[in-house]
Amino acid sequence: MSTIPALVDRYVAIWNEPDPALRRQSILALWTEDGAHLSQSIESYGYKALEARVGDAYEKWVKSEGFIFRRLNNIDSHHNVVKFNWEMIPADGGKAATVGLDFLILSDDGRIRCAYQFIVT
């Protein structure tokens, strides 16, 4: 796996990716087979569920609502844990509609075992 900022950039990029096949490839590369993405309202375990989770978010927020996701410059990590903030902003510019915090637990090979998502605003 590459550096932590590159990993986070790849992670954030999948939420903006319009091509389902490329999203699938990225999920396979980023997560372990039994990996998870957990928010307060959605729990996704395994590749198929992760594909559905990321695809649903893309369809709703990026394709239909016209937002994009981008990371903020506050990545912090140690051992096998990474945390960073991200924001959802209008694709044509403007203020953030949502700011979140993601907390990633990595496997020994650098892939995501579990991504915890918290909505800040």
pLDDT digits (tens, 9 = 90+) for 106-116: 999 999 999 99
Domains and CATH numbers, the chain: 4-119 (3.10.450.50)
Pairing mode, strands 76-78 and 67-71:
unpaired
This prediction has a pTM of 0.94
pLDDT at 75 over 50: yes
Take residue 40 and report the two structure tokens written for it: 């307060």
Take residue 59 and report the two structure tokens written for it: 């369809």
CA-CA distance, 19 to 80, in Å (whole number)?
30
Opening angle at CA 66, ends 53 and 99, nearest 5: 65
Q: Which of 65, 66, 64, 71 is nearest to 14 (CA)?
A: 71
pLDDT at 48 over 80: yes
Take residue 48 and report the two structure tokens written for it: 């198929």
Percent of the chain predicted with pLDDT > 90: 98
pLDDT at 50 over 80: yes
